Amino acid sequence: MVDPYQIRRDLIALRSSHSGNDAVTAPINKLLGKIAHIREANNPARKAALNRLIDEAAKELPTGMITGLWDEQKASNGN
């Protein structure tokens, strides 16, 4: 199962490590706002919505910024 809480923790850590770069922090803040309501991604519809939101945010970030984070989540869940 995808863990939205862990994704949020990882995004907050990523945002903190790039706190001086608005090109990174702004899209992460926007993504955090969009996924704040997701408690569990325990069904295909919620998982798909979470994947879509993260993929959209990744397009706004510098290349490869979120890729490692999200690939690890997908690999651990067999996706």
**CA distances in angstroms from 9 to 29, 44, 45, 73, listed in the order given:** 12, 22, 22, 13
Q: Containing domain of residue 55, as a range?
A: 4-76
pTM attached to this predicted model: 0.70
Q: Which residues, at least 6 apart from 33, have a Cβ–Cβ distance to it below 8 Å?
A: none
Per DSSP, what are the bridge partners of residue 57?
none
Q: How many domains does the chain have?
A: 1
Given this model, what pLDDT does residue 12 score? 92
pLDDT, averaged per 10 consecutive residues of the chain (79 residues), comes to 80 91 90 83 83 83 67 50
Please choose, from the candidates 27, 32, 33, the residue with its C-alpha nearest in 3D space to the C-alpha of residue 57. 27
The values of phi and psi at residue 42, to 5°, are -95, 5
